[in-house]
Amino acid sequence: MKKLLFALATSAAVLGFTAAASAQDKAKICFVYVGSKTDGGWTQAHDIGRQELEKALGDKIETQFLENVPEGPDAERAIERLARSGCGVIFTTSFGFMDATIKIAEKFPDVKFEHATGYKSAPNVATYNSRFYEGRYIQGQIAAKISQKGEAGYIASFPIPEVVMGINSFLIGARSVNPEFKIKVVWANTWFDPGKEADAAKALIDQGVDVITQHTDTTAPMQVAAERGIKAFGQASDMIKAGPETQLTAIVDTWGSYYIKRTQAFLDGKWETTSSWDGLKDGILTMAPYTNMPDDVKKMAEETEAKIKSGELKPFTGPLKKQDGSEWLAAGASADDGTLLGMNFYVEGVDDKLPQ
Amino acid sequence: MGIVEAILLTVITAATPLVIAALGELVTERSGVLNLGVEGMMIMGAACAFVATQLTGSPYIGILAGILSGALFSLLFGFLTLTLVANQVATGLALTILGLGVSGMIGEAYVGQSGEKLPQIVFPLLSDIPWLGPLLFKQDMIFYLSIALVIGVNWFLFKTRKGLMLRSVGDSHSSAHALGINVIRTRYLAVMFGGACAGLAGAQLSLVYTPQWVENMSAGRGWIALALVVFASWRPWRVVVGGYLFGAVSISQLHAQAFGIGIPSQFLSALPYLATVAVLIIISHNRRTTLINTPASLGKSFVPDR
Amino acid sequence: MRIELEKRPKVSVLFSIFSPFIALILTLIAGAIMFAMLGKDPGYALYSFFIEPLMEVWSLHELAIKAGPLILIAVGLSVCYRSNNWNIGAEGQFIMGAIAGSIIPVVFYEWQSPLVLPLMLVMGMLGGALFAGIPAFLKAHMNTNEILTSLMLVYVAQLFLDWLVRGPWRNPGGMNFPETRTFGAEAILPEMLASGRAHWGFAFAIIAAILVWLMMRFTLKGFEITVLGQSERAGRFAGFSSRKMIWFSMLLSGALAGLAGISEVSGAIQQLRPVISPGYGFTAIIVAFLGRLNPLGIVASGLVLALTYLGGEAAQLSLGVSDKVTRVFQGLLLFFVLSCDTLLHFKIRMVWADLNDTVKDTH
């Protein structure tokens, strides 16, 4: 028995050694995923980005990833394992990996870390995020045009700034078209539970909304909307397959461009810590094709998209009031990034109480 | 369609998988076996049903695949706990771990595909009854199966000789053995019935509830089914009541939100579990009702003396 | 063919040594077949799983971090299960222990004193014990099935934690994210050695295992536990109270689960989050059985199970297999170990039904 194990171990050790030697000349770029790479939503979008990175720079780099990594001590271990295995850059793709990333980064000053959607950085930890709310503004405008009832349903996950920001942006966009527009918000308290998301969609539709949008990850709400014959917006990836006659557009996370940009900088020796919050113009999010809508609505959406890209239009621009009626932004003033990233209030007109 | 009707329809869809899986587990537990692997069998059913449907184009073959996969998977549990008398609690938990892994492998290539929804079977005339018609007679096959299961299980357990034998095995395996009942075979069948039901419940998830496959899509519904069996104090009709009550609470919580009524959602979500504990206390406080309802040999292994 | 079991008069010493190895060999064979079917080098795969994580010091520390809570909880559970009390709600007791222990660093965060940490640990144990006291009370005085009540209470604990960190205990400086403030320096369980991250939680686990082993082996209490577990009636004749035993075993296992909870939070996470355990309380049940309800066996089985988690990650990286494969492999290992333990108590006989002979009914 012992002999067998020993033989196994040595032969495998040799194998491992040769495998490592042949890959020596390529830089290793690594990813830590919180979900399964085929979750159809958040993690899958990151994995598509990783594949694009491989396609673009495959002759100079190789990629590795760990999936379904729970947040907490397990994440620390996973990140450390990658750092020790010789990764040059490690992308940690969930908010909950923030403290783990910072801790491990302290131990490995020569490894570069990139943490998605967090707010803590270090000399070798950059943060990156996407201005999803820009897409939500366009969605709001489309919803206001499409909806007969003047009311949209919003399936939300958790009341974190990211989600609250999206709700506000959607409503501001909608009210720029129809000042009377309303939204109903339902908190599913999950990112990922197809059944519950479907139930939330049904509840909203039963209460009379005729457009729904979601900030949860599965295509279940899209399927429900298709079945009930109303329109809906996709989230994280293009969900047109789930609703060929239903999806108006989707906010598609296209992390690939960022991954390529940062990896290239790393290869050139020009990597520096940054905290980038890119938007439509940088290509970190894109709008899926505008479908299932009249041409004039499509034209409006495209114009808005162009204006946001050129910087002419910023969704959070005054005059805006908070939900309680107090002044927030004066006419012409735009919200600063700090306020947005910590957003914990609704703008005027949201018909919901923010869970506290 | 009025809003109440619409809500009820949603509740029925949400409750059906719980009721089916709980009925299966009820029969298993009535035979004295505690299988905590419902979640694992359910997710296997969901994966196999979806994959079979996509491969063959027929959701009915999908249903069959779900049932079979659940039953086969439960056989693994049966072999360990009944033949090899391994501990039921540990084996059930291990079954869930294995099920989550295997189902993920089976379904990997099918993530993101939009499935065909199981078609409705409309009973002519009956479905025209105002109010009740669309709720009860314009549903999919799995819903009708769930109703048939409740009636069937209730009849079997309390009106047939075989049912009486099964219950006696659950109450005291040694006396049942002494009476010449084949304890192990009875339990094998009960475990497989439980697995088949969990598999069918899984098929409902991936063919009716949300016609798609994603990893982990059962999201804890197998555990809720376990709770329901206890809540129902091992009575089939109470499983239905409990299942629909549970569905109603979780759905009406979403509606309450859309109406703008704010209660901490965690509190509402905890209610069914607290209610289950309360029911447990009530039924067990009175020794007589306990003896009537709870399978006394629950969770205990049986090895025939020779 | 039929399989028949025959109870051994005594636990087989031979098999109590060899059954883990038989299980390991079976797992290796099944694993090798699975990896070969996936087109991966089986030798290398098994090396990644079982040996690679043991080759480096940091990785051994990680092993201790992962194994610590599993062992601590499982040791408590072993006392319960030996005395026939089926507490399967350790996950909830773990969470409530973590919550109770976090009261000081979260609510009274301004209080700094060397007393903070010991108090936190004590409160953690109390929190877990009190929460386990609910099913204990219900079983001892209301005759309610503890398997089911303890399981139900897990969900209640999870939701309570969720509510706390999203509501009253949310970090005011945390941008609305669902987590509490991070603990101050004096509220953090220190690392054991300078060479890695492993904190004192692992030491607690080992100490608890040894103490419980001594108790089971050498004290009257241990005898009482064994007797009551084997037969309540025999225990009554010996003058032992099964009601007191319910309280004792449930409170003990709750306290140890609570200690595991607060150690994990204070040593490894350093704040409360909506989810603080990747199912330790449930995995520990498996650990307890793999260790045959023997505290020292549990130390070994806890380490082995933790190893499969680390090995799973190593295999993901070195082989590129998905995380599902590692979970299947883990499941296989559990099944083989559980089934091989049958050999301890039973002789297994294969009965081949010969088609030519008329089958004699053995009944």
Calculate the alpha carbon distances from A272 to A91, A104, A263, C19, C22 in Å: 14, 18, 11, 55, 54
Closest Cα in chain C, distance from residue B186 (Å): 16
Omega of the bond leading into A319 within 30 degrees of 0 (cis): yes
Nearest to A1 among C21, C264, C323 (CB): C21
**Proportion of chain A above pLDDT 70, given as a percent:** 93
Q: What is the mean pLDDT of chain B?
A: 87
Yes or no: say if B89 and C86 are a contact pair by the CB < 8 Å rule. yes
Best A206, A209, A219 member to test B by mutation, with max B CBs in 10 Å, is A206
Q: How many CB pairs under 8 A join A and B?
A: 104
* A contact residues 222-241, partner B, Cβ 8 Å cutoff: 223, 227, 241
**The two three-digit tokens of residue A47, written as one number:** 């994995």
Residues of chain B contacting residue A188, judged by C-beta atoms under 8 Å apart? 254
Query: Any idea what DSSP says for residue C199?
Result: B
C155 in contact with chain A, both atoms CB, cutoff 8 A = no
End-to-end CA distance of chain C: 16
pLDDT of residue B286: 66
pLDDT of residue C155: 87
Would the CB atoms of C338 and B290 count as touching at under 8 Å? no
Yes or no: say if C35 and C223 are a contact pair by the CB < 8 Å rule. no
pLDDT of residue A12: 43
For residues C128 and B264, give the distance between their C-alpha atoms in angstroms, rounded to a whole number: 24
C48 in contact with chain A, both atoms CB, cutoff 8 A = yes
Neighbours of chain B (3+ CB pairs under 8 A): A, C
Nearest residue on chain A to B202, alpha-carbon basis: A195
Would the CB atoms of C334 and B97 count as touching at under 8 Å? yes
| Amino acid (one-letter) located at A252 | V
End-to-end CA distance of chain A: 60
Q: How many CB pairs under 8 A join B and C?
A: 150
* HSE-CB for C60 with a 13 A CA cutoff: 7
A218 in contact with chain B, both atoms CB, cutoff 8 A = yes
B2 in contact with chain A, both atoms CB, cutoff 8 A = no
pLDDT of residue B287: 62
Residues of chain B contacting residue A199, judged by C-beta atoms under 8 Å apart? 10, 14, 250-251, 254
Would the CB atoms of A73 and C268 count as touching at under 8 Å? yes
* B contact residues 239-268, partner C, Cβ 8 Å cutoff: 264, 266-267
Would the CB atoms of C166 and A158 count as touching at under 8 Å? yes
Query: Domain-by-domain residue ranges, chain B?
Result: 3-293
Yes or no: say if A230 and B37 are a contact pair by the CB < 8 Å rule. no
Res B16 pLDDT > 90 = yes
pLDDT of residue A37: 84
The residues, any chain, with a CB within 8 Å of residue B199's CB and separated by 6 or more, are: B41, B42, B44, B45, B48, B49, B66, B67, B68, B69, B70, B71, B73
**Confidence tier at B263 by pLDDT (50, 70, 90):** low
Sheet of strand A275-278, all strands in order from the earlier edge strand to the far edge: A61-66, A27-32, A87-92, A112-116, A125-130, A275-278
Q: For the domain B3-293, what is the CATH code?
A: 1.10.3470
Q: How many CB pairs under 8 A join A and C?
A: 101
Specify the higher pLDDT residue, C174 or B222: B222
Closest Cα in chain A, distance from residue B43 (Å): 13
At residue C107, the 3 state secondary structure works out as: helix
Would the CB atoms of B212 and A219 count as touching at under 8 Å? yes
Nearest residue on chain B to A153, alpha-carbon basis: B258
* C contact residues 292-331, partner A, Cβ 8 Å cutoff: 309-310, 313-314, 316-318, 320, 322-324
Best B5, B11, B39, B257 member to test A by mutation, with max A CBs in 10 Å, is B257
What residues pair up with C349 in beta bridges, in sequence order?
A: C4
Query: Domain-by-domain residue ranges, chain C?
Result: 66-305
Would the CB atoms of A67 and C166 count as touching at under 8 Å? no
Q: Quick: pLDDT tens for B26-78.
A: 999 999 999 999 999 999 999 999 999 999 999 999 999 999 999 999 999 99
Q: Quick: pLDDT tens for C29-87.
A: 988 898 888 888 888 888 888 888 898 888 999 999 999 999 999 999 999 999 989 89
pLDDT of residue C46: 85
pLDDT of residue C352: 63
Residues of chain B contacting residue A44, judged by C-beta atoms under 8 Å apart? 111-112
* C contact residues 5-64, partner B, Cβ 8 Å cutoff: 5-7
Closest Cα in chain C, distance from residue A32 (Å): 11
For residues A90 and A113, give the distance between their C-alpha atoms in angstroms, rounded to a whole number: 5
Which domains are present in chain A?
Answer: 26-130 (3.40.50.2300), 132-253+284-309 (3.40.50.2300)
Would the CB atoms of B210 and A223 count as touching at under 8 Å? yes
pLDDT of residue C154: 92
**What's the 3-state SS for chain A?**
CHHHHHHHHHHHHHHHHHHHHHCCCCEEEEEECCCCCCCCCHHHHHHHHHHHHHHHHCCCEEEEEECCCCCCHHHHHHHHHHHHCCEEEEEECCHHHHHHHHHHHHHCCCCEEEEECCCCCECCEEEEEECHHHHHHHHHHHHHHHCCCCEEEEEECCCCHHHHHHHHHHHHHHHHHCCCCEEEEEECCCCCCHHHHHHHHHHHHHCCCCEEEECCCCCHHHHHHHHHCCEEEEEECCCHHHCCCCEEEEEEECCHHHHHHHHHHHHCCCCCCCEEEECHHHCCEEECCCCCCCHHHHHHHHHHHHHHHHCCCCCCECCEEECCCCEEECCCCECCHHHHHCCCCCECCCCCCCCC
Nearest residue on chain C to A104, alpha-carbon basis: C197
For residues C68 and C199, give the distance between their C-alpha atoms in angstroms, rounded to a whole number: 9
Nearest to C273 among A71, A78, A356 (CB): A71
Q: Provide mean pLDDT across the span B258-273.
A: 71
Residues of chain A contacting residue C269, judged by C-beta atoms under 8 Å apart? 72-73
Nearest to A36 among B104, B257, B260 (CB): B104
The residues, any chain, with a CB within 8 Å of residue A301's CB and separated by 6 or more, are: A138, A141, A142, A249, A287, A290, A293
Q: Provide mean pLDDT across the span B172-198.
A: 93
pLDDT of residue C260: 97
Specify the higher pLDDT residue, C229 or A146: A146
Specify the higher pLDDT residue, C352 or B139: B139
Nearest residue on chain C to A100, alpha-carbon basis: C269
**Confidence tier at B171 by pLDDT (50, 70, 90):** confident
Yes or no: say if B162 and B3 are a contact pair by the CB < 8 Å rule. no
End-to-end CA distance of chain B: 65
Strands B120-122 and B138-140: what pairing?
antiparallel
**Confidence tier at B288 by pLDDT (50, 70, 90):** low
* A contact residues 21-40, partner B, Cβ 8 Å cutoff: 36, 38-40
For residues C355 and C151, give the distance between their C-alpha atoms in angstroms, rounded to a whole number: 48
Would the CB atoms of B287 and C327 count as touching at under 8 Å? no
Handedness of CA B18, B19, B20, B22 (dihedral sign): positive
**Confidence tier at C254 by pLDDT (50, 70, 90):** very high
For residues C136 and C335, give the distance between their C-alpha atoms in angstroms, rounded to a whole number: 30
Q: Quick: pLDDT tens for C98-132.
A: 999 999 999 999 888 899 999 999 999 999 999 99
Best C131, C335, C360 member to test B by mutation, with max B CBs in 10 Å, is C335
Residues of chain C contacting residue B86, judged by C-beta atoms under 8 Å apart? 338-339, 341-342
Res A18 pLDDT > 80 = no
Q: Quick: pLDDT tens for C300-335.
A: 999 998 998 898 888 888 888 888 887 888 888 888
Nearest to C327 among B93, B101, B269 (CB): B101
Res C157 pLDDT > 50 = yes
Nearest residue on chain B to A350, alpha-carbon basis: B260
Would the CB atoms of A195 and B7 count as touching at under 8 Å? no
- Of the candidates A55, B91, A131, which has an alpha carbon nearest to the alpha carbon of residue C285? B91
Q: Provide mean pLDDT across the span A50-55.
A: 95
Handedness of CA C64, C67, C73, C76 (dihedral sign): negative
Res C12 pLDDT > 80 = no
pLDDT of residue A20: 43
pLDDT of residue A246: 94
Q: What is the mean pLDDT of chain C?
A: 87
* HSE-CB for A322 with a 13 A CA cutoff: 11
Neighbours of chain C (3+ CB pairs under 8 A): A, B
Nearest residue on chain B to C362, alpha-carbon basis: B306
Dihedrals phi, psi of B264, to nearest 5 degrees: -55, 125
Would the CB atoms of A160 and C177 count as touching at under 8 Å? yes
Would the CB atoms of A186 and B3 count as touching at under 8 Å? no
Res A17 pLDDT > 60 = no
Nearest residue on chain C to A339, alpha-carbon basis: C175
Q: How many CB atoms lie within 10 A of CB A349?
A: 18
At residue C6, the 3 state secondary structure works out as: strand
**What's the 3-state SS for C127-196?**
HHHHHHHHHHHHHHHHCCCHHHHHHHHHHHHHHHHHHHHHCCCCCCCCCCCCCCCCCCHHHCCCECCCCC
A187 in contact with chain B, both atoms CB, cutoff 8 A = yes
